[in-house]
Structure 1
């Protein structure tokens, strides 16, 4: 008897489909109804994602570069050139095959910024506009609801963001921290808000009693379901790591390595191979420390030293190359570079004819379909009204027949 696809066990079909590229999987929905239902099912979406995360496959980069456009002003006779960030998807490791992301606000002249990448979703912020969650694989998105602000937003001097996933509740969460430090009197105002994709709403959580130093647009680093920033005291002389746990939604501190009182010019947090890392810059070097066992201060280990050329500071490690011989890093002055860990060579990267790169993140393919929630209630109402109108028409037809 000749075997067909229908005779294959569902577990085997699931395993085979989970190994294919996302575009191929989406196209296979038309094979048959059972495959369409399988690929659309939440179990398959999560199974494929977990497989990709475990094997470090189906990875891509999203790189942000500037672009010029002409901005008109009422008080000027001619328009002036301005720049706005543009996001591209690139192949992992090679950083080739650039493709502009088709997110809904890509034509916005004020531009958008990526404030985080987690499990295939990006947190985008439209300048002078809303926040949104965007899936570059399925090209679907959710616009976050308007944020309730309990104090005058103009009073805040610094914004910090974070984006992550709570495995316990299977929920994506966004954190926005609004702060202003009055150094003259040592007074800090703070407001911390957390958004849940599951509930589609914001809520206020207890404030953090320290100031976050601005770097990389104040984006928190996600490690072990916890967001991390570099905090400082009111006079800016003492720095430490501040952590926000997405599960219990509470702040705490993480121990620093034993620097032996080595002075440094810039301290930044990052993530390498799932571990919390710390970048201690002091020209012409950057010491990279890694916390081998999360939360254990004694597990801090100095992994390697990067040479920083042209007085540049290393702000964040983006990722290792597949062969672990190179490290892609985000540097100051909008530079993205590869550091060869064996030869110590430093290579600046160019994208779309630009020497500068505003940012870079790694994202994994995720087949999750997001809905544009701003009109979700309106759509529900229209469907309900449509059914009511159909019932009314049926009643009228019935009366006519009588």
Structure 2
């Protein structure tokens, strides 16, 4: 460690960037120089870019069962309940995750939205956004990263009920960089999604739009750009069979569809975003029980021999890619598992009114160390005085 401290600072930074986030968080206490290097936003950005470029980054499995917890991926062991700010304040629903940041929504606290980093144990509560009284409670949410502005954004879409007068909507976008809400263009036409949380692919959030034409349901894929805040419709593949429902997801950074019917669930992937001809059916999975639909893919196993999937019955299953066999994954003692996400570790520090700034945090720790040193000194002096009194007596 002494040899590392004597290195030129550029070389020191290069070595530190090669380490994973968790030990780096511990190394912040070694010295003041390392504290400011590791805490710097520029260092966190470089470390994140290096992590994302790895073919096999240090992944973590985040889930609710029913409390928000984290585990090793893909062994699902070493489970730890996350000490997030909503822990004792009602149910915290996971809207989504991006770059290791988790977006939480608390329905018990008037839809309070929170960004939370389980690695750095920091959070950011979004400014309260009231709901217009003229709009119903039909919500759609989404969370993701805008690569152009390099900004994390949260999207809240409200829509009025169809058939109760003129259609109204409100689309609000929160910018973490600006720490403020922006009104985006309204929804061009009503859409109703069975899953209120958008899936981020290629800079767009996606929902499955369900409508009923009088005889059967129609489906379309609605997209919302985090760059220019516009709505798009993504082309679907051509299905040969009739299906019960569609679910949208992301796999290998590509948009994918879960196509469920009574007997099978097909997994489709859009290899080239926006190109309808690039839709490819990857897997056809036989239903083990009726109405056990695939909700979304979680991730491939580290050896890519299996694919972990979320079922509509709050269960996680493993699909063997050789045999196409499906088996339950035992994540924890709780029989159900939902809000499943795969996250990476990162050094992003989220500042909130309830969190100290980096410099204040360091100064407070320095003050505590000085106070402990003073107390030890006082105790030692007291012991010496007692010993002197004993000797005199």
| Number of positions where the alignment pairs a residue of Structure 1 with one of Structure 2 | 350
Deviation at 1:185, TM superposition (A): 6.5
CA distance in 1 between counterparts of 2:130 and 2:354 reads 16
Which shifted more, 228-237 or 361-370?
228-237
Q: Work out the CA distance in 1 between the residues paired with 2:3 and 2:355.
A: 43
The structure-2 alpha-carbon separation of the partners of 1:188 and 1:285, relative to structure 1 and needing over 3 Å to count, comes to farther
Which residue number in structure 2 is paired with residue 136 of structure 1? 118
Q: Cα–Cα, structure 1 residues 42 and 342, in superposed 2: closer, same or farther, change >3 Å?
A: same
Counterpart of 2:367 in structure 1 is: none
Instruction: Give how far 1:374 is off.
Output: 7.0
Any gaps of 5 or more consecutive residues in structure 2? 361-393
State the SS of the aligned residue for 2:289. Answer: helix
Distance 1:304 1:352, change over 3 A: closer
Secondary structure at 2:168 match in 1: strand
User: Does residue 341 in structure 1 map to residue 340 in structure 2?
Assistant: no
* Distance in 1, Cα, partners of 2:76 & 2:331: 9
Distance between the aligned counterparts of 1:11 and 1:297, measured in 2?
A: 47
Q: What is the RMSD computed on CA atoms of the aligned residues?
A: 2.2
CA distance in 2 between counterparts of 1:65 and 1:293 reads 35
Residue of structure 2 equivalent to 1:271: 250
Q: Residues of 1 paired with 2:104 and 2:124: CA distance?
A: 10
Which runs of structure 2 are paired with 1:1-40 in the superposition (5 Å)? Answer: 4-40=3-39
Does the alignment pair 1:230 with 2:208? yes
Q: Report if the CA contact (8 A) 2:298-2:342 is conserved.
A: yes
Corresponding residue for 2:52? 53
Q: Which runs of 5+ in 1 are unaligned?
A: 67-85, 381-402
CA–CA distance in structure 2, aligned partners of residues 352 and 299 of structure 1: 38
Change (3 A) 1:367 1:375: closer
2:210 matches 1:211: no
Shift of 1:186: 8.7
Aligned pair 1:310/2:289, yes or no? yes
Deviates more, 1:228-237 or 1:338-347: 228-237
Q: Following TM superposition, by how much is the alpha carbon of 1:169 offset from its aligned partner in structure 2, in angstroms?
A: 1.5
Q: Deviations over 1:356-389 (max 9, x none)?
A: 112200111121111124799xxx9xxxxxxxxx
Q: What SS is found at the alignment partner of 1:37?
A: helix
Q: 1:211 aligns to what SS in structure 2?
A: coil
Q: Deviations over 1:139-163 (max 9, x none)?
A: 11111111143343xx424211100
Contact in 1 for aligned 2:120/2:349 (Cα 8 Å)? yes
TM-score by structure 2 length?
A: 0.84
